[in-house]
Chain A
Amino acid sequence: MSLVHINILIAFAVSLTGLLMHRSHLMSALLCLEGMMLSLFILATLTILSTHFTLANMMPIILLVFAACEAAIGLALLVMVSNTYGTDYVQNLNLLQC
């Protein structure tokens, strides 16, 4: 693959790691999720434009729409958590603990 692709893939991997290994705030997980979406969008657009794959010109835009909805849901959940506990610490999500 070319250098550009490697670069974007590394960005994706870094965001994935940040999503899975966040420390205490739920907000950082949501931010990393947005980062993953963004890097995916850039990767798809670059590949489709450079290979002149015209039939798939719409895919990145639809991806962006769904990412925006999902971000809205995530933020709503964050607001709900923050209303109950005052902060968005992940360790507060322990109602199922036995």
Chain B
Amino acid sequence: MNLFTSSTLLTLLMLITPVMMSSTDFYKNNKYQHYVKNMTLLAFITSLVPMTMFIHTNQEMLISNWHWTTIHTLKLTLSFKMDYFSLMFMPVALFITWSIMEFSMWYMHSDPHINQFFKYLLIFLITMLILVTANNLFQLFIGWEGVGIMSFLLISWWFGRTDANTAALQAILYNRIGDIGFLLSMAWFLHNTNTWSLQQIFMLSQNPPTLPLLGLTLAAAGKSAQFGLHPWLPSAMEGPTPVSALLHSSTMVVAGIFLLIRFHPLTENNKLIQTMMLSLGALTTLFTAICALTQNDIKKIIAFSTSSQLGLMMTTLGLNQPHLTFLHICTHAFFKAMLFLCSGSIIHNLNNEQDIRKMGGLYKILPFTTTALIIGCFALTGMPFLTGFYSKDLIIETATSSYTNAWALLLTLTATSMTAIYSTRIIFFTLLEQPRFPPLMNINETDPMLINPIKRLLIGSIFAGFILSNSMPPMNTPLMTMPLHLKLTALTMTTLGFVLAFEINTYSKNLKYPYSSDSIKFSTLLGYFPTIMHRLSPHLVLTMSQKLATSLLDLTWMETALPKTTALIQLKASTLTSNQKGLIKLYFLSFLITMTLSMLLFNYPE
């Protein structure tokens, strides 16, 4: 038991050391990258110890270190919750980060600020682990904001580019909107359960009202790019490929889903929130899959694929299956990171060409990348007995055999076949056919710093699903019998998607695009969502504020209200009451009226 605590804390402490070394001379030379990579590797190996102890004994642990403050009855400590989720996620995250750091030693080789890049990646990893192991909402929020800030710094790594700055700002803004929901639930929990620590929350609110869970869902929608708060994820591809691989495919974007998984004792009692998560996830997965069908940038297609899988995770949460969602998070991390690394290899080898219409024929030229890309795409679509199968097929099976919303199910199945379609698109355009790039390209994949990470993630993509699902104790009764057509649903939809996409790609590759079609415009312009939301609402707000400030305040309240009105009243009164206007008729009339009145009054005094 002693080894459990110490190895967990050692993992976290080991990662902080390179950050603290950044003020020394060590930071200036080339060894720093190797140092960071090796530290991550050692942290991974150290984190395997608590993981295997947990698998062996199934004992969770709560480490409560340092009492920070007590404000009235609120006690805040530094506490780490080592349960199934955090203990399984830590090695996975560390493994993937190690591979990505080795890859970025090849990819960012010529960058002058490469040491700073590694430092940023490390700080990101630390904040992500703080988020994952947090036992109270305050510590989780520290990790939450930390990953948001590091995402901003890393997306705008090439900050000379306007698009990168806009994308980073977009990421921060959309995450902020999600933070509103997070703060709302924090406030609700503080007010009603008097604590921010997860154990007490779960004890005290067995049937919570919808409001805090709604706040948490909003936070997850912001961080995990659900529909309505999704545009930041494809824009975040402005960052370097290692950043996309680490943050926006495996680790950061699952933080929102992870938050909802942490709160599964609360969501399993609230049917409304489950339905909401189901619908939101189904809508996200279908919408982003539609957008992915017609993108031309390889990184954007993979980004939309990530968004679609996040929608699938949200759907699974809506089916009240948090452990299955977690399994999908871990398996998805492997093959998505590998897909990004392969795309990074292709981009770097083609001299920074990201448009798939200008790639082609890489099947014979880059055999290893081709292998990895094809296996990654198959794992993504849920090819039987690769990694994705163990989580994705189970999700579809659970969805088809549970008493749930049929519309959401239909959307999910359509999105599954679309996954196969855009995967075929990637494979077809980058790997097959004749080359479409300029002939003098220096293409090689002999550098071990490129090959080894992809190799490791490849082995992970093939075997990790099997290993992870065998180490997971069953949390609820699995469904043992179901009709054959339900069992084969996922496989059928995927095969349908593959066949359809391959057919269409093959016989239309030499035809002209009919660009006047409206449905292709819907897909290429991302459903018109960025166009409307990013231009219309700021325009309305700014116009309204301008009208308020100038017309209402300046012109009306300051000018017209007192000064001009007073002047006008004075003028009218003075013209009315001045005499000698020659109004003879008025004078005679007043004389008549006076006489009549006096006669009446004196004759009829009662």
Contact = CB atoms under 8 A, between A and B. Distances in A.
Interface string B562-606: 000000000000000011111011001101100000000000000
Nearest to B599: A13
A20 interface: yes
B592 A97 contact: no
Question: What does DSSP make chain A's interface, helix, strand, loop or mixed?
Answer: loop
Nearest to B585: A90
A11 B584 CA distance: 23
Nearest to B591: A20
A17 interface: yes
B584 A90 contact: yes
A96 B584 CA distance: 11
Interface string A85-97: 0000011011111
A16 interface: yes
A93 B589 contact: no
A17 B585 CA distance: 12
Interface string A7-19: 0000000001101
Contacts of B580: 96-98
A3 interface: no
A22 B591 CA distance: 13
A21 interface: yes
Contacts of A91: 582
Contacts of B584: 90, 93
B582 A16 contact: no
Nearest to A91: B582
B579 A21 contact: no
A94 B579 CA distance: 12
Contacts of B588: 19-22
A17 B582 contact: no
A90 B589 CA distance: 14
A97 B542 CA distance: 54
A12 to B, nearest CB: 12
A32 B166 CA distance: 91
Given A98-B579, A98-B580, A16 B585 contact: no
Nearest to B584: A90
Interface in A51-98: 90-91, 93-98
Nearest to B582: A94
Question: What does DSSP make chain B's interface, helix, strand, loop or mixed?
Answer: helix
Interface centre among A19, A20, A23, A91 (most CB of B within 10 A): A20
Contacts, number: 31
Interface residues of B, number: 11
Nearest to B579: A98
A21 B582 contact: no
Nearest to B588: A20
A21 B591 CA distance: 10
A20 B589 contact: yes
B581 A17 contact: no
B592 A93 contact: no
Nearest to B581: A97
Contacts of B585: 21-23, 90
Contact of B592 (A16, A94, A95, A96): A16
B591 A97 contact: no
A91 B584 CA distance: 8
Nearest to A19: B588
A96 B578 CA distance: 12
Nearest to A95: B582
Nearest to A90: B584
Interface in B529-587: 578-582, 584-585
A21 B581 contact: no
B300 to A, nearest CB: 82
A4 to B, nearest CB: 21
Contacts of A98: 578-581
A11 to B, nearest CB: 16
Interface centre among B579, B584, B591, B592 (most CB of A within 10 A): B584
A93 B583 CA distance: 9
Contact of A17 (B578, B579, B592): B592
Nearest to A24: B585
Contacts of A97: 580-582
A95 B582 CA distance: 7
A23 B584 CA distance: 10
A21 B589 contact: yes
19 contacts: A17-B592, A20-B588, A21-B585, A21-B588, A21-B589, A21-B592, A22-B585, A23-B585, A90-B585, A91-B582, A93-B582, A94-B582, A96-B582, A97-B580, A97-B581, A98-B578, A98-B579, A98-B580, A98-B581
Given A19-B588, A21-B589, 11 more contacts: A17-B592, A20-B588, A20-B591, A21-B585, A21-B592, A22-B585, A23-B585, A90-B585, A91-B582, A97-B580, A97-B582
Interface of B: 578-582, 584-585, 588-589, 591-592
In the A-B complex, the 10 residue pairs with the smallest Cβ-Cβ separation, listed nearest first, are A94-B582, A20-B588, A20-B592, A96-B580, A97-B582, A97-B581, A90-B584, A98-B580, A98-B578, A93-B582
